[in-house]
Amino acid sequence: MENLNILARFDYTLMVVTIGAALLGAVSGSLGTYAVLRRQSLLGDAISHAALPGIAIAFLLTGSKAPLILVLGAAIAGWLGTLLIMSIVRLTRIKYDSALGIVLSTFFGFGLVLHTLIQRTGNANQAGLDTFLFGQAATILASDILTIGVLGGVAIVITFIFWKELKLLVFDEGFAASLGFPLRTLDILLTSLLVIAIVLGLQAVGAVLMSAMLVAPAVAARQWTNKLGLMMFLAACFGALAGVSGAIISSTASRIPTGPTIVLCATVVVGFSIAFASNRGLLWDWIRQKRNRRNLKMTEQP
């Protein structure tokens, strides 16, 4: 009887939202590890902004708001955006950061225009599309959890299968190429994984802040460990923690957008890790410096 009571008291919607946010955080956190280590943190920003028109076009074409269709639209647009960035860098003399900026803002602007147009049509069905801007975790349904779980799971399994190749690509591209591993293919594989993580998170976190969900957990995790595998695991945990706490906090009051709340929770984790992590943390540095100075003084005295 005791057990039943506890179950009854636990809100079903909140449970779904919490599980969904945890899964999202874990997927984006673990895959974001590669983005951070490759110094491509901003690529996540470009992909998530570029995904926005994809959502609008998918809706315009199908008239459906089924998550899978919208996610597919977002993924295609995000992917095209990334491909465009890579081609601009390869074929022109425009540098990576400029290419990123151009593609990001063009796609995002186009997305905003399309979203406004859709709202003007007065189609009653369009309500809720704007959650993709700032995210609304409360809109996560049980069926979304399945989508997130399956796609996110596939992405993480792929990183395990190609663990060795991806690690080599991120650490030493030139050496990887000299051994005969195809850089372009691996690059596209890695980017596709990022695209999956991002479009899954769009609904809950929103296009504007999604890249923080890739970067923040990985940055925090790097503070605590020197092992790639452990870093990825910790990033997944931190991402899940931020997702859960953000989702719960934003659901306690109405009109708190979930995306910013989740990102603020992730920021707290990052701040704590930068300050207090063993070895790499600021506090640790300060103590070590102090100890060194004292030791030095002691040796100076005769």
Nearer to another protein, 228 or 268 (CB): 228
- Cα 240 to Cα 237: distance, rounded to the nearest angstrom: 5
Restricting to residues 12-41, which ones interact with another protein according to CB under 8 A? 37, 39
Nearer to another protein, 100 or 170 (CB): 170
CB contact burial 143-172 (16+ within 10 A = b; e otherwise): ebbebbeebbeebbebbeebeebbbbbbee
Handedness of CA 204, 209, 210, 212 (dihedral sign): negative
Segment lying near another protein (by CB under 8 A), choices 6-14, 124-132, 198-206, 227-235: 227-235
Nearer to another protein, 85 or 234 (CB): 234
Restricting to residues 37-66, which ones interact with another protein according to CB under 8 A? 37, 39
CA distances from 120 to 49, 113, 116, 136 (A): 22, 11, 6, 22
Task: Report residue 34 as tokens.
Answer: 């590669």
Handedness of CA 118, 120, 124, 128 (dihedral sign): positive
Q: State the nearest-atom distance from the C-beta of 57 to another protein, in Å.
A: 36
Q: How many residues bind another protein (CB under 8 A)?
A: 27
Restricting to residues 148-167, which ones interact with another protein according to CB under 8 A? 161-165, 167
Nearer to another protein, 178 or 299 (CB): 178
Q: Examine residue 302 and tell whether it contacts another protein (CB under 8 A).
A: no
Q: Which amino acid is at 114?
A: L
Question: For the residues of 191-232, what is the DSSP string, one character each?
Answer: HHHHHHHHHHHHHHH-TTTHHHHHHHHHHHHHHH-S-HHHHH
- Tell me the per-residue interface mask from 90 to 109 with another protein, x by CB under 8 A, - otherwise: ---x----------------
Restricting to residues 167-226, which ones interact with another protein according to CB under 8 A? 167-168, 170-172, 174-181, 222, 225-226
* Neighbour count for residue 80 (Cβ, 10 Å): 17
Q: State the nearest-atom distance from the C-beta of 168 to another protein, in Å.
A: 6
- Cα 91 to Cα 29: distance, rounded to the nearest angstrom: 32
Q: State the nearest-atom distance from the C-beta of 93 to another protein, in Å.
A: 7
Nearer to another protein, 137 or 219 (CB): 219
Q: Which amino acid is at 70?
A: L
Nearer to another protein, 134 or 181 (CB): 181
Q: State the nearest-atom distance from the C-beta of 186 to another protein, in Å.
A: 11
Positions touching another protein (CB under 8 A) are 37, 39, 93, 161-165, 167-168, 170-172, 174-181, 222, 225-228, 231
